[in-house]
Amino acid sequence: MPQLPIVAILGRPNVGKSTLVNKLTGSREAIVHDMPGITRDRLYQPAFWRDRDFLVVDTGGLVFDDDTEFLPLIREQAAVALAEASAAVFVVDGQLGVTAGDIEIADWLRRQSVPVFLAVNKCEAPDRGALQAAQFWELGLGEPFAVSGIHGTGTGDLLDAVLPHLPPVESLDEREEIRVAIVGRPNVGKSSLLNALSGMTRAIVSPISGTTRDAVDWTVERNGQSYRIIDTAGIRKKKNVDYGPEFFGVGRAFKAIRRADVVLLVLDAIDGVTDQDLKLAGRIKDDGRAAVLVLNKWDAIEKDSNTIYTFEREIRARLHFMDWAEAIFASAQSGQRVGKILDLVDVAAAEHRRRVSTATINEVLQEATSWYTPPTNRQGRQGKIYYGTQVSSQPPTIALFVNDPLRFKDDYRRYIERQFREQLGFTGTPLRLIWRGKR
């Protein structure tokens, strides 16, 4: 998951930092402690404004010795918080006016490299607010923003000023390697498919040793995109008859699935979906991997005009829990539609890595809940969805914050998931929804 930009909130105790943080974040729970690369002992709260997601961290009160000198430990902590922040909001008390401590902090902040925005809090009084804020020009930090953490006034202007200083969320490198696993029962045509793919891709780079001794990966390239085909040894080795059934067993396929971005689940169009296929499909879904269903040996089927529909209907019915995966009828032997398989892999990989902004997610939720309001329980209390946010990708995972998860039964949860699918796509990848209650 790409790192979100961080906005640090600083100021003396009691100026209203936590009140302001709650206003900016909508009191969203800190749900991001397991994100890599951020300090663990601070509370990071997700926030969004317009179409941008970011994290807000309250650095705690900046306490002074005799009101003139920073306590060294606190200054150190604040410096660490600033070091990882893209912008800082310095909060002061507009009703109290400029204090010696504010001047001290401002002098220190001007020597830091992060852009600083001055929030003059407690300025809710319409007649006095602007004047209260104006006193703080003397801090030399530029325009003071009159805000009220309690009422929320002025926070929009403040955020509008902050937003341009947040770096864009690290965008997906489209040329990043895509890891592909080819799995299926024996004899469905996995190694034939590997050959066909190798034949149509431009360069076969030398095999790469995988993690286990005999797992060999290959890298192939097409149109500047690299694909790492996982465990080609496992696909090919069966030609040496002596390996026991375990070697091709499901364990090896499970390992390949775990390492993949996109799994090609190869099915034999003649046999349809067998129980072994279901087992592999279940694992793909549980592991949260993207997938493409390859219905191979299509050339060997006697067809009339309805065949493709009848086949697809049967396969879809058996694999109903994977309705998000694209299915393609192909022939590894003749090469028919093998190129199209890679097109579908590209789409599935991109969707698997995709991030959707919190603003967009909440638009979908708003629309969905206004068409079909959440159910009411027997005590007459209605389910409420406060907001949703995407907490990770690969696979895309959306946390929904609700008043009580028990009020949302399966049918409503499926309805919400369907709405996300319809509005946002996510073709080729599983989508995870996490329903969380307010504590």
Choices 44-52, 320-328, 329-337, 409-417; region in contact with ligand GDP by CB under 6 A? 329-337
Of 10-18, 167-175, 209-217, 353-361, which segment contacts ligand GDP by CB under 6 A? 10-18
232 touches ligand GDP (CB under 6 A): no
Report the nearest approach of ligand GDP to the CB of residue 125 (Å).
9
Nearer to ligand GDP, 130 or 150 (CB): 150
Query: What's the CA gap between 266 and 67, in Å, rounded?
Result: 71
Of the candidates 88, 264, 332, 416, which one interacts with ligand GDP according to CB under 6 A? 332
Chosen residue from 189, 395, 396, 430 binding ligand GDP by CB under 6 A? 189
In terms of Cα–Cα distance, which of 4, 1, 9 is closest to 114?
9
**Residue from 25, 45, 148, 232 that binds ligand GDP (CB under 6 A)?**
148
Tell me which stretch binds ligand GDP (CB under 6 A): 49-57, 146-154, 209-217, 358-366: 146-154
Question: Applying CB under 6 A, which of residues 18, 86, 99, 276 lies at the interface with ligand GDP?
Answer: 18
Instruction: Give the residue, chosen from 296, 358, 389, 429, that forms a contact with ligand GDP under the rule CB under 6 A.
Output: 296
Q: How many CB atoms lie within 10 A of CB 148?
A: 22
Q: Are 55 and 44 in contact (CB under 8 A)?
A: yes
Cα separation of 264 and 257, whole Å?
Answer: 9
- Residue 166's Cα: distance from chain center in Å? 18
- Of 314, 330, 315, 386, whose CA–CA distance to 31 is shortest? 386
Q: Concatenate the DSSP letters of all residues of 60-114 into one string.
A: ----EETTTEE-HHHHHHHHHHHHT-SEEEEEEETTT---HHHHHHHHHHHTSSS
Of 225, 212, 224, 223, nearest to 179 by C-alpha is 225
CB-wise, 276 or 333, nearer to ligand GDP? 333
Considering beta carbons, is residue 148 or 358 the nearer one to ligand GDP? 148
Residues forming the annotated binding site? 11-18, 58-62, 121-124, 184-191, 231-235, 296-299
Helix or strand holding residue 181 (H, E)? strand 178-183
Tokens 């050339």: give the residue. Answer: 299
How far is 207 from 105, CA to CA, in rounded Å? Answer: 58
Q: How far apart are CA 434 and CA 245, in angstroms?
A: 39
Stretch binding ligand GDP (CB under 6 A), from 49-57, 221-229, 292-300, 338-346: 292-300
Cite the annotated binding site for GTP by residue number: 11-18, 58-62, 121-124, 184-191, 231-235, 296-299
Looking at 30, 38, 43, 61, which residue binds ligand GDP (CB under 6 A)?
61
Give the count of alpha carbons within 13 A of 392, CB side only: 13
Query: Which residues are bridge partners to 433 per DSSP?
Result: 398
Taking CB under 6 A as the criterion, the residue among 177, 299, 312, 343 binding ligand GDP is 299
Q: Which range in 34-42, 160-168, 327-335, 384-392 contacts ligand GDP by CB under 6 A? A: 327-335
Residue of 1, 3, 19, 177 that binds ligand GDP (CB under 6 A): 19
Total number of residues that touch ligand GDP (CB under 6 A): 32
| Whole-number Å distance between alpha carbons of 126 and 375 | 41
Please choose, out of 35-43, 108-116, 181-189, 272-280, the segment that lies near ligand GDP by the rule CB under 6 A: 181-189
Residues at the contact surface with ligand GDP, assessed by CB under 6 A: 11, 13-19, 61, 121-122, 124, 148-150, 184, 186-192, 235, 238, 296-297, 299-300, 331-333
